[in-house]
A = this chain, B = another copy of it.
Amino acid sequence: MSFVSHGPVVPTPTALGRLRPLPASAVRLTPDGLLGGWQARNAGATLPHCVEQLGVHGNLTNLRRLTGDSSAAFAGMWFADTDVHKTLEAAFWSGAAPAFADEVSALLEKAQDPDGYLDSWYQDPENRAKQFAELHYSHEMYTAGHLIQAAVAAARSAPDTIAAQQVVAVARRFADLLVQRYAVSAEVDGHPEVETALVELYRVTGHRPYLDLAGRFVGNRGHGVLGEGRFGPAYYQDHLPLRDTTEVTGHVVRQVYLLAGAVDVAVETGDRELLEAAVRLWDSALDSRTYLTGGQGSRHRDEAYGDPYELPPDRAYAETCAAIGNFQLAWRLLLATGDVRYADEMERVLHNGIAGSTAADGTAFFYSNPLQMRTGHDGSHEDAPSQRLTWYSCACCPPNLARLMASLHAYLATGGPDGLQLHLYAAGTIADSGRAVEVTTRYPWDEDVTVTVTESPAEPWTLSLRVPAWCEDVRLTVNGTPAPARGRAQDGYLRLHRTWHPGDQVRLTLVMPPRLVTAHPRVDATRGTAALVRGPVVYCLEQADLPAGAVLEDLELDVAAPVLVAYHSSGLAPVTLQVRLRARPGGGAPLYQDLQRTTPASGSPATVTAIPYFLWANRSPGPMRVWIPLGTREA
């Protein structure tokens, strides 16, 4: 048998958990499927683009300054090393940039201080005195965390390579330095990340002090050790101990990375109280602080959640890294609890909030992911650009996408003695412990998912298939014979327990009519509107599809017959929706007027194409919106 590689998040055998991840090498995505296409594009375009940009923007030079190989000035953010580490992690998961992995691993080894310290900003002679002295700001352990995660990817993907051995050794030396320095400290880094990384390093090495340190960092947080900062302690989740917290707060990426670390600590230490706290906070985010796309973060100012039900589509921050962090958190919670809600959320955020961040060609990205762009939007600044940019002054998102997409196959399914559990549907193959299936599907464009058994032991086992929460009508055949799908399985999974034979074919049909979705009435920002959704895919209207002269803000859904049909095409999107809209003349009207003077939309309805949200801004830049005003019926 060939080498068994593993993906992100591999709990130890004694860890809490209802589901167990499959080896990464057990799953392959077919490149002509949607997810497989994303993964192929990542290897072929995004990863090489990131490698190139690290050169252009000085991230590698920052490290070469330490080895005497460059005399350039330090470039970029003080945590610019993390872009290198995340790209390196992507290179290891994908195996698609071996020269980069070799070069950078050697560079990191050479740049590391004898005591294990490695952070090119704080190794600069001017900044050395500030090492570990400004943790609220420094991102030093955040940087260490991403280095460690690159090492974890190396150890799980290519342990026998020199590059992997180098980066693992480098990461361990840095981790050992942290263990030594923070053994009895009450301090924490302002930006969580090292917690989950240390648990993963423990999982790779079996070295318990890494886990203990992660647990200490989770526990230290919430006692005001970071000070007020610019945005107050809740920004850093340092206002209350996690165990005593009931709601997500502050900087979204920090919150979700902290929760990922907390879940990792909880399952490895059997700390159910901590796991429950993570579940509680996840619920608080999903109940009132998550966009329809799965994005989180309603405020640009401090990249923060905002208040409950504060979900403006136009000023949605919905940072790409937050969506990625949420996907990674949901996977951890799915493994820990087996609750289908987490798989539902992984599907939603992957197909919308995450997918929308990357241009069709894989080399430009959104950092924030709004659900609306207005006519007249000033997109001249990178905080809210009208189009995806090739890079950012804080370029955390592109290499984060690269590492996620490179490991995407590892998030599809779980398995164990009782069988296989399919959580995300994508064309590909899954083979584990003598069981193998091939998944053929054009999901989410088509409703059908066919699972063909290609290998099976003689003993019966259970094939579990997730039924998404959005699906009201699920149909099933086994070898062509309709099988009772009982509407929806009670826990969100259809479980087929039987003796399987090669050639057995299960056909799951997840009927996906276009739907109109509304938000909770407390979401003021989308009152009186609806969004178009089909299956897991959120749709949007974009200027490029409107009749000439139409102003997107003036269009309303013809509520009498709003949605015509899902249209299969060969253009930008395999499936578009056709909707009926009316125009409400807007120009020249006063900004405020008496209620009784308002007039309903007039004119004959026109049929307009809606495209998947994740494909917006791939044509000419222009207004876009997910939430469409509901027209008032004419009297």
Chain B residues within 8 Å of A515, by CB: 594-595
A521 at the interface (CB under 8 A from B): yes
Q: Determine whether the beta carbon of B528 is less than 8 Å from that of A528.
A: yes
Nearest to A382 among chain B residues (CB) is B232
A554 at the interface (CB under 8 A from B): yes
Distance in angstroms from A394 CB to nearest chain B CB is: 12
Q: Determine whether the beta carbon of A312 is less than 8 Å from that of B378.
A: no
Q: Binary interface profile of A, 277-314, with partner B (CB < 8 Å = 1, else 0)?
A: 00000000011101010000001110000111110111
Distance in angstroms from A447 CB to nearest chain B CB is: 18
Chain B residues within 8 Å of A519, by CB: 591-592
Copies in the complex: 2
Nearest to A235 among chain B residues (CB) is B381
CA distance A630 to B593 in the complex (A): 15
Distance in angstroms from A568 CB to nearest chain B CB is: 23
Q: Determine whether the beta carbon of A553 is less than 8 Å from that of B309.
A: yes
A560 at the interface (CB under 8 A from B): no
Chain B residues within 8 Å of A528, by CB: 527-528
Q: Binary interface profile of A, 238-263, with partner B (CB < 8 Å = 1, else 0)?
A: 01000000010100000000000000
Distance in angstroms from A380 CB to nearest chain B CB is: 6
Distance in angstroms from A280 CB to nearest chain B CB is: 15
Q: Determine whether the beta carbon of A378 is less than 8 Å from that of B300.
A: no
A567 at the interface (CB under 8 A from B): no
Chain B residues within 8 Å of A232, by CB: 380-381
A578 at the interface (CB under 8 A from B): no
Chain B residues within 8 Å of A592, by CB: 292, 517-520, 531
CA distance A25 to B310 in the complex (A): 49
A525 at the interface (CB under 8 A from B): yes
Interface size on A, residues (CB 8 A): 66
Q: Assuming the A-B contacts A299-B300, A518-B598, A594-B517, are A307 and B378 also in contact, with contact meaning beta carbons closer than 8 angstroms in the complex?
A: yes
Q: Determine whether the beta carbon of A310 is less than 8 Å from that of B300.
A: no
Nearest to A239 among chain B residues (CB) is B380
Nearest to A590 among chain B residues (CB) is B520
Q: Binary interface profile of A, 589-618, with partner B (CB < 8 Å = 1, else 0)?
A: 111111110100000000000000000000
Q: Determine whether the beta carbon of B586 is less than 8 Å from that of A554.
A: no
Identify whether the interface residues of A are mostly helix, strand, loop, or mixed: loop
Nearest to A584 among chain B residues (CB) is B521
Q: Which of A328-336, A369-377, A417-425, A497-505 contacts B (4 or more CB under 8 A)?
A: A369-377
Q: Across chains A and B, which 8 residue pairs bring their CB atoms closest together, nearest first?
A: A528-B528, A516-B595, A527-B528, A301-B301, A522-B553, A232-B381, A300-B301, A307-B374
Binding site for B on A (CB under 8 A): 231-232, 234, 239, 247, 249, 286-288, 290, 292, 299-301, 306-310, 312-315, 372, 374-378, 380-381, 383, 515-531, 553-554, 556, 584, 586, 589-596, 598, 627, 629-630
Q: What are 28 A-B pairs at a CB distance below 8 A?
A: A239-B380, A299-B301, A300-B301, A301-B301, A307-B314, A307-B376, A308-B374, A308-B375, A314-B524, A372-B524, A515-B594, A516-B594, A518-B594, A518-B598, A519-B592, A520-B592, A521-B556, A521-B584, A521-B586, A522-B553, A522-B586, A524-B529, A524-B553, A524-B629, A527-B527, A527-B629, A528-B528, A530-B595
Knowing that A307-B374, A312-B525, A521-B556 are A-B contacts, what are 17 other residue pairs whose CB atoms are under 8 Å apart, sorted by A's residue number? A231-B383, A239-B380, A299-B300, A301-B383, A308-B375, A310-B374, A312-B312, A314-B524, A315-B315, A515-B594, A517-B595, A518-B593, A519-B591, A520-B590, A524-B553, A524-B629, A525-B525
